[in-house]
Amino acid sequence: MEQQPAISDYGFLSDSRSGALVGKDGSIDWWCPHRFDGASVFGRLLDPRAGHFKLAPVGVGGPGFRVERAYRPDTLVLRTVHHTPHGSVAVTDALAAEIGARAHELGRNSPAVLIRVVEGLSGRVRMGLDFAPRPEYGLLTPYLHEQADGGVLARAGPVVLVLRANGLQLRAGRDRVTHEFEVSAGQVVGMDVAFGEAYGDPPVRMDPVAMLAETTRAWEAYRETHGYSGRYPELVRRSATVLTGLTYARSGAVAAALTTSLPEQIGGDRNYDYRYSWLRDFSLTMRALWVAACPDEASRLFAWATRSIGRIGDEPVPVLFGVEGERDLSEHHCHQLSGYRDSRPVRIGNDAWRQRQLDVPGEVVSAVWRLRDYLGATFEEELREMVLGLTEQVAATWHLPDRGIWETRDEERHYLSSKVSCWLTMDRAVGLADRLGDRADPGRWARVRDEIHDTVLREGWNDRIGAFTGAFGSAELDASVLALPVTHFLPATDPRMRSTIAMVERELGTEEGLLRRWTTDPAGFLLCSFWLVECLVMAGESKRAEALFERVVGYANDVGLFSEQIDLATGAQLGNIPQALSHIGLINAAWRLTKPDSY
C-alpha cells in the first residue's frame, strides 16, 4: 500500500465552512465539504483507499520535476508551480467564497465548491487528472454519471459531487475519473468540484476562473479590515489568516484543527479528533485576534460560547463543542481506515467532552475580561449569566481534582495549571464585577482567589527539585506551569519562577528550541515552545527569547503552516494540521516580544 505524504507536505484551503488539504504532489487528500467536523469525501490522508483528487503533470516526482508554491498574500488561495522537463505550469487551488462576499461576510454562505485552475507558464506540459471520491470516510464508492456539459456526477449515500472542467470532455470509469490533457504557455483550464446533498439543493454551478478571482478578492478584503503594528508582521498576518480559515463563519466557533487522527507519534495510538471548538482555546484565540487587530470577531465568538454552554448548573462545563454548539461528541473508531502511516485507531468524535477540566472557566472569563471594552459597560443577559455561572462554579469546585490541560485519560489529579486557571477566573471576575449586576460578589470572590493563590504556592512548589511541578505532590515537571507568568499569577522575575523556567528549559527542552510537555513526551509541542518565549521575555531575557522564537518558527512548512508537534529526531511535523494553538502561540509570542508587559 502506498505511503501517505509527510504532514508538512500539505497546504490548507478554507471557505470558513470547511477545509481541504492539498499536497505538493497536487493531490487533494482531505475535504469534509459539509463542515469542518463532517464526513470526508477525500480521505487519502488517513488511508490511501479513502479518496483523493489529484491534478498534476504526468510523471511528477521524477527527474527534472520541481515544485514551488505560495499563498497569494493574506489569502488561503494556494498557487503551486510545477517545473517539468517540458515546461512549467501553475495550479491554483481554493475553496470558493460566496459571490460578492467581502470582509466579515467571508464564509457565511459558502457554496461548498473546490476550485482548481491550471495555467500554462512555459513549454507544453501534459497534465493528469485522477478524481476518486469516497464519501463517508471511505465507506462509499459512488456511482459516476457523465453529463451533457462534459462533467461527471458522483452520487453515493447523502453526497452528490459534480466535477466539471472547462473545455474538457470527461469520461466516467467504474469508480473514478481519469483524464490527460496538454497545457501550453498562456492556456488556462478551470475546473471545479461542487458539493451537494442528495436530498437537498443541487450542487452550485459556476465559472471556476471567475470564481477564483472573486474568492481572492474576498480574502484580500477581509484582511484589509485588520492591522497589526508589532514585530514579525508577516508571520502574524499569516497565522491570523490561518485562524480565520479555521473559523466556522456561521457561528464564529474556531476549530482546533482541520483534521482528525494525525498521530502524535507515527504508529502510536494518541490520535484524536480536533475538528471541534475547545473552550480552553477561547482566551488564547481572543487574545490572538485582539493582537492581530481583529476585535470585531469578539461578539460572534462570545455569542457562540454563551449559546453552546447554556445555563450553567452543577455539572462541569463541557471542554469542547461542535462548531454549531453540539455537546455530545461521543467518540467512535473508523475501523475501515488504516490511519496515517498505520497509526490506529482513527477516531471520530472526542470523549474529552465528558471530562472535568477546571481550567476551562478561567479561559472564558479571562477572554471576557480582555475584551470587556468591546462588550459594553453593562453586559447583555446571556453573557452576564455565563460569567456569573462560571465564576460560582469555580468557587464551589476549585479544590477538586481534574483531568488537566492535556486531557489525560487516566485518573484525576490536582493539576497546577488547572488551579492557576481557577485563580484566573476569580481574579478576572473581580475585575468585571461592576458589569455583572446585583449578583456579583467581588468581596467573596477575592477571598476565594487569594485562597487559591496561597494553595498553589504552598502545594505546587517542590523544594527537592526547586520548581513548580505539574500536579500537587508530584515531582514531575510539566511545561504547563509556564502559565504562571503568562497569566500574571506570579512574575517571571520571582526567584521561584526563574528556577522553574530554568528547570523546564533544561529538562524538557532541546538544543533546537523545542519544548516537550513532560519528560516522557516523544515530541516537541509548539505551543509550549512559544510559551517559553513569552516567559523569557517577561524574565528580561529578550535577546534569548527572540533567538528561540526564530528557531521555533523555522519549523513551519513551506507555506507557513504548523501542525501540533515536531518529531525530535527528524524535525518532521506531527499531529493534526493546521493546529490553531500553534498559530495562536506564534501570534502571542510575537506580541510579547513587541510589548513585554502586555496582558
Residues of the chain with pLDDT below 50 are none
Q: Of 191, 22, 63, 59, nearest to 116 (Cα)?
A: 191
Beta-strand relationship, 159-165 and 152-156: antiparallel
Rounded distance between C-alpha atoms, residue 563 and residue 524, angstroms: 11
Give φ, ψ of 268 to 5 degrees. Answer: -85, 180
pLDDT of residue 280: 86
- If asked whether residues 433 and 294 sit together in one domain, one would say yes
- CATH number, domain of 461, equals 1.50.10.10
Q: Does residue 287 share a domain with residue 210?
A: no
Residue given cell 527542552 in the structure block: 509
Same domain, 443 and 581: yes
| Whether residue 210 is found in the same domain as residue 240 | no
Q: What is the pLDDT of residue 295?
A: 57
Whether 49 maps to a domain, the answer reads yes
Q: Which of the listed residues 189, 224, 259 is the one where a domain comes to its end?
A: 224
Domain boundary among 198, 224, 250: 224
Does residue 386 lie in a domain region? yes
The CATH number that applies at residue 194 is 2.70.98.10
User: Residue 599 domain-assigned?
Assistant: no
Contacts of residue 547, defined as CB under 8 A and 6 or more positions apart, other chains included, come to none
- Write out pLDDT tens, residues 271-328: 999 999 999 887 777 777 777 656 566 677 888 999 999 999 888 999 999 999 999 9
- pLDDT tens for 427-450 read 999 999 999 999 999 999 999 999
Do 200 and 254 lie in a common domain?
Answer: no
Whether residue 43 is found in the same domain as residue 162: yes
Q: Are residues 207 and 125 in the same domain?
A: yes
Asked whether residue 588 is domain-assigned, the answer is yes
Domain ranges, residue 27: 7-224
* 407 in the same domain as 473: yes
**Is residue 2 domain-resident?**
no
Q: Is residue 1 part of a domain?
A: no
Domain count, the chain: 2
Residues 135 and 183 in one domain: yes
Select from 320, 401, 223 the least CA-distant residue to 581. 320
Strand positions, DSSP E, 15-60: 19-22, 27-31, 52-57
Per-residue pLDDT, 296: 61
pLDDT of residue 362: 94
Q: What is the rounded CA–CA span in Å between residue 234 and residue 238?
A: 6
**pLDDT at res. 227:** 78
Would you put residue 87 in left (φ > 0), alpha (ψ -120 to 50) or beta? left
Torsional class of 72: left (φ above 0), alpha (ψ -120 to 50), beta (otherwise): beta
Residues 13 and 99 in one domain: yes
